[in-house]
Chains A and B, each alone.
Chain A
Amino acid sequence: MKRLLALLRILFVSRAVTPLAMLFFLLLYIGIAFFSPEPLTTLMSITRNYIPVALVLALIPVNCAVRLAMEVRSLCRRRAVMKGATAKSSLDGLFAETVRISGTLHLAALKGRLESFGYSTRLTGTSLAAWRGISLSPARIFFQAAMICLFSGILVSTTTRVSKKVAVIEGEPFPLSSGVVERIRFENRRGLFLDRTLSMEVTGKDGARRSFGLYPPALDQGSFVYPRFLGVAPLIRFVAPDLPGGFETHFILMIYPPGKEDSADIPGTGYRIFFSMVKPTGGEDPFRSGRMTLLFRILKGDKPVKSGSVVIGGEFSGNGYRLAASEVRRVVATDLVRDYGVIPIWAGALFFCAALLFWLPVRLFFPRREMLFMEAAGVVHACSRAEGGRDRHGGIFLETLDFLDAGGTAAGCRDLPEDFL
């Protein structure tokens, strides 16, 4: 039991766990890349289907959460020590360097000396704390929080995502909540990243209106409504020599923007019709206006039998074939995605930005440097740590030790040269 607990402790606490888990996935990816043309999707599928692999991924957010707690604890302890509030035993692991010198502290002289080097000081009883700059702890906390959000988001998304493809059609019921799609609007509106807007306006049974846009995707009954592609649903009436009774239906054709081709089968006849949209010569967008000309090719089996074009509201006929398109409705191919990992991943991205924005200027211009001098039972404990500018800080620390060693008198100190080290 003790061994198991020790192992769990290592798994949760060690700094090596996250890089090792990432290395595991990297090696897995490389291995898959040898055998699969789609290694990324295969890796995601393996993570989704094999619990041990998902558990390895789960180690990352757990490890980061424990490290975050340790970081906060360490920050609190260091603050307490610098305020002179705790005993000497709590210094363990807080400083990079600790030296013991016999003698007594001349705190006032030492305080003045450190202040002359630009350090802020705090004198509390028999201890003197000196510091410069800003601590990077907030950046580390943001970073760990980002890692937790990102990897828990990836884990949740990979293992629980459910996606369903539906077609949202004007005048038809909306696939999720009860209501009818009144109108699909597609407009040019220049934004920061997007050039166009799309809104699917739905009227509920109670008369309440709701609009589903592009980004951020709207949530409906726990699922994101994610519009993908645009299409049209013309009402097509098709008559052929061997189909005198004709066939009429709304075909859903994903043929927007013009140039794309889609096909539809006439059930039980062997006929297949390929449609595409004529590129308008004017500036009018056919999807927006609803005015469009459809190009078509009719195949019976593999054999082409007729081709031509038909305007919406018009009819084509020839050699016993007739094809009429009396009306058209707008269609949006939409994914209904139930994914609880999306929001944590975005939150993770925000935390990463915050961590970077804090870390970069502080690390470059105001790195934290700390010294602590405590006297207990005739022994002076001198501690030092620096998050940046180590050489200069180390030089000042050594000079201060010399100063203490010389009994805290002016004879024992000297001005630091620029190239102290």
Chain B
Amino acid sequence: MISALKLMPVLLAWSGIAAALVRHVSGRRSVLAISCASGFIGGVAGGNLLLTLSKGEIVSSTVKSLTGTCFLCLWVVALAAFYRVTGSGGQGAPGEREKPYAFTVSCSALLAGLLAGAICVCRLAPQGGAPLLSLFVLGTAGVLLAVAAIGIEQYVPADITVTGEALLALVVSLLLFASSFTLQLDLFSPLSMKVMKFVHDFVHQFFESMLVPDHLFFRSDAWEYIGYLFGSGVGFWGGLLIWFAPVVLICAAIRLERLPTVSHIRQGAQRRKLLAAFIRERNCRLIVPCFAMLIMAAAVYNSLFPSVEYWDPKPVAVTMNDSGEIVIPKKGEIDLEDGKLHKYLLKQGGREARFMILSAPDGRLTVTLDACAICKPEGYGQAEGAVICYYCKTLIPLETMGRPGGCNPVPVPFKVGADGVSLDAMTILDRWSETVTTTSRIKGGGK
């Protein structure tokens, strides 16, 4: 039941894709229905097979890359559309559009189906191993919903037309929306982080290349303004810009299409009729990209406020013994080997440090700070198969816990004895101070 609820928005997105495809081609319903159904079933079966054979991370990163490639294609198409319209002085006669080839549309439906099916499987069981019955129900539901969407589509007003660019915008936005429900597939958060990294690198490189003096010589208020460029806000707003720009460009390309030439018509009424018809048709073509924009906004919302409940226990206060050690029993009130994240807080002489203990999937215990070496120390939460850095939203697979580098939590040396895990308190306090000092030096974290 919960799985069905989890999958509902993703399946609805899939039915939206099928409806958009059939509206674009109009008249090849059976071919399209077969392509959609076979694509979706192939996606579900193939995705599950790969999830079973390999680690979940590989499949999710492949699906994520494919969705990202679709988004990149949307960018290229949007730029081309905008460029064509502005380059031709806004002339792009709607009547010149050709009917798409059945083969092209079938292939597109097949690919969209494959991707949507794989996204559904990743949502159903991110680590693989979904029961066959669930997969069968998922495949059947996907096929039925696609067929239903293709059937219902004919009741949508005929004025709402879907051009090639608008179709791509809608399909990609629905795929992004479907992906945003699964942490491992979400694209917006990594995009924001990449933008932040790019802006940081670009500003640094600009200063170097243009021989601009270092911050030592700068006015502090001027440097504060420059500092905004290194903040996470830039990543978020830059990410939003990149996220919405292709759909906005497609809307602009449609809106900027110049009115048809009516200079040769000498009857004013006929001229106005022709122009009014064109404007109405142009406005109707705007509906689908505008709808795609709303869906992309929903995907951003999902990414910012995921419905996933993170396991984030309140840190347990610990103290050191006379020999400066902290000893935490393996079993007791807290079972350190239950596979869950356990957080602890050490306070000593005005200093404090947060650390966490987690049993990795291979059974080894890991002890790390509740902070990484590059982000602000906002801590970690545990999701399915991974812990997430609250600051940069990077997912750290549980298998890599205890390893240093990147956004992984900073490991701390410890000993496992019969009575539990023992740690050196001063080492933890020193490592925490060192980490926090380093990351707070960089505005907005170091990513």
Contacts and interface: CB of A to CB of B under 8 A. Distances in A.
Q: Do A and B come from one complex?
A: yes
Interface of A: 15-16, 19, 23, 27, 29-30, 33, 38-41, 44, 96-97, 99, 157, 161, 190-191, 193-198, 214-217, 224, 226-230, 257, 335, 337, 339, 341-342, 345-346, 382, 384, 390-391, 394, 397-398, 401-402, 405, 421
Contacts of A157: 209
A191 B219 contact: yes
B209 A394 contact: no
Given A16-B83, A41-B201, A405-B266, A227 B213 contact: yes
B258 A390 contact: yes
17 contacts: A19-B83, A23-B79, A33-B194, A39-B201, A40-B205, A191-B219, A194-B218, A214-B213, A214-B217, A215-B213, A226-B211, A227-B213, A230-B216, A339-B211, A394-B259, A401-B266, A402-B266
B190 to A, nearest CB: 10
B263 A382 contact: yes
Q: For B211, B214, B219, B258, which residue has the most chain A Cβ atoms within 10 angstroms?
A: B211
B268 interface: yes
Interface residues of B, number: 35
B261 interface: yes
Contacts of A229: 214, 216
B263 A195 contact: no
B220 interface: yes
Given A191-B219, A421-B275, A342 B210 contact: yes
B433 to A, nearest CB: 15
Nearest to B205: A40
Contacts of A23: 76, 79
Contacts of A216: 211
B212 interface: yes
Contacts of B201: 38-41
A186 B237 CA distance: 39
A97 B219 contact: no
Contacts of A224: 211
Contacts of B271: 398
B266 A40 contact: no
A195 B194 contact: no
Contacts of A190: 219
Interface in B192-216: 194, 197-198, 201-202, 205, 209-214, 216
A33 B220 CA distance: 32
B85 to A, nearest CB: 13
B148 interface: no
Contacts of B420: none
Contacts of B259: 391, 394, 421
Contacts of A257: 216
B100 interface: no
Given A191-B219, A198-B217, A398-B263, A15 B87 contact: yes
Contact of B218 (A29, A38, A195): A195
Nearest to B213: A214
A401 B262 CA distance: 11
Given A16-B83, A214-B213, A30 B219 contact: no
B209 A193 contact: no
Given A214-B217, A229-B214, 16 more contacts: A15-B83, A19-B79, A38-B201, A40-B201, A40-B205, A41-B205, A194-B218, A194-B222, A195-B217, A196-B217, A217-B211, A227-B213, A391-B259, A398-B263, A401-B266, A421-B272
Contacts of B9: none
Contact of B214 (A16, A96, A228): A228
